[in-house]
């Protein structure tokens, strides 16, 4: 299988008020194309920091992150912005849509920054919103959508530009059970149909049960990396 992300001795240390805090400690992992991986662990175990590091939102204190062979940990910021834009999709815990844009505009936003042709962009945005079941909400602003609907728009946005992988930071944390299952179904389906690598941090058992690979972090270090049979999840 093709390696999409590889981390080598990845470490992140924050300057805490009392003493330095090691959020990610010597993590060596590989993620493969088309994977549906859950990063699990208790609060403060370093899940989000790890996602930020492999997503290029944060710089490691030590170690490297390679995306398809490109080391992003030493990349200049301006290049990193561009790299992120073209290769990585993000889904955040608190929906994080642009409040002044409609659902369709939100989904188009990344493609717009990528300077895709307008017609292609519009077609893809509508297609993605159809995929997440929001074809009747194309022109709704985020404040006119429920939490579950907003998160579905965020999923559509993350996947619309066909990134190499999508990072989702506790995507179901603020959703009720029905919305969470619905979102997971959509993510799993898109993962299969679009063959997009999905990595999400969670401590939601509903999500963990559906993942094909579960990596457990404790105190910033990998304590378990377990592959789960695909049949169980689908």
Partner 1 sequence: MKTLIIISWRNIWRNRTRSIIIILALVLGIMGGIFSAAMRLTAEQQQMEDALKNQISHIQIHHPGFVANPEASYSIPRGSELAEELEQMDNIWAVSARTVFDGMAASANMNAGVRIKGVNPDSEAHTTSLDELLEEGTYFTGEGRLPGVIIGRELANDLNCHTGSRMVLTFQDKNNNMVHASFRVEGIYTMTSKDFERRTIFAHREVINSHIDHPDAVTEIAILLNDMEQYRQAAREFQEVWPDLKVRHWAQLAPSRYHNLEILDQVLIWILVIILLAISFGLLNTILMSILERVNELGLLMALGMKRSKVFSMVMLETAMIAIIGGILGLLSSYAMIQILNTSGVRLPGAEGMEEFGYASVLYPDIPVSFYFETAVVVIIFAILAAIYPAWKAIKIPPAQAVRQE
- Give the binding site for partner 1 (CB under 8 A): 48, 52, 55, 57-58, 77-78, 81-82, 84-86, 90, 92-94, 96, 98-101, 105, 109-110, 112-114, 169
> Residue 46 CB, nearest distance to partner 1 (Å)?
13
The encoded tokens of residue 19 equal 């003493």
Q: Which is nearer to partner 1, 116 or 213 (CB)?
A: 116
Ranges of beta strands (E only) in the chain are 3-14, 21-32, 36-40, 62-67, 70-71, 88-91, 165-169, 197-202, 213-218, 221-227
Q: How many CA atoms lie within 13 A of 17 on its CB side?
A: 0
Q: Which is nearer to partner 1, 93 or 202 (CB)?
A: 93
Q: Which is nearer to partner 1, 20 or 192 (CB)?
A: 20
Round the CA-based radius of gyration of the chain to a whole number and report it: 17
> Residue 16 CB, nearest distance to partner 1 (Å)?
15
Q: Which is nearer to partner 1, 8 or 96 (CB)?
A: 96
The encoded tokens of residue 37 equal 């991986």
> Residue 23 CB, nearest distance to partner 1 (Å)?
11
What's the Cα-to-Cα distance from 40 to each of 57, 65, 110, rounded to whole Å?
A: 20, 20, 28
Q: For the chain, how long is the longest CA-to-CA vector? A: 54
> Residue 87 CB, nearest distance to partner 1 (Å)?
9
Q: Which is nearer to partner 1, 16 or 99 (CB)?
A: 99
The owner of tokens 């990396």 is: 225
> Residue 227 CB, nearest distance to partner 1 (Å)?
29
């Amino acid at each position: 299988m093709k390696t999409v992300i590889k981390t080598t001795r990845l470490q992140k240390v924050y300057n805490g008020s009392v003493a330095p805090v090691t959020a990610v400690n010597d993590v060596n992992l590989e993620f493969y194309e088309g994977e549906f991986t859950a990063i699990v662990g208790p609060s403060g175990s370093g899940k989000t920091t790890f996602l930020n590091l492999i997503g290029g939102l944060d710089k490691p204190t030590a170690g490297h992150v390679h995306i398809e062979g490109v080391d992003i940990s030493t990349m200049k910021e301006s290049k990193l912005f561009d790299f992120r834009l073209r290769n990585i999709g993000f889904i955040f815990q608190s929906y994080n849509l642009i409040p002044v844009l409609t659902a369709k505009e939100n989904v188009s936003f990344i493609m717009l920054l990528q300077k895709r042709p307008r017609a292609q962009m519009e077609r893809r945005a509508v297609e993605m919103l159809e995929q997440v079941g929001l074809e009747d909400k194309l022109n709704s602003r985020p404040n006119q959508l429920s939490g579950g609907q907003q998160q579905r728009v965020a999923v559509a946005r993350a996947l619309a530009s066909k990134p190499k992988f999508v990072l989702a930071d506790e995507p179901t944390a603020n959703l009720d059970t029905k919305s969470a299952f619905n979102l997971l179904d959509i993510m799993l389906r898109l993962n299969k149909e679009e063959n997009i690598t999905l990595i999400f941090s969670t401590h939601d058992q509903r999500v963990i049960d559906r993942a094909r690979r579960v990596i457990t972090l404790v105190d910033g270090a990998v304590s378990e990396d377990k592959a789960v049979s695909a049949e169980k999840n689908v």
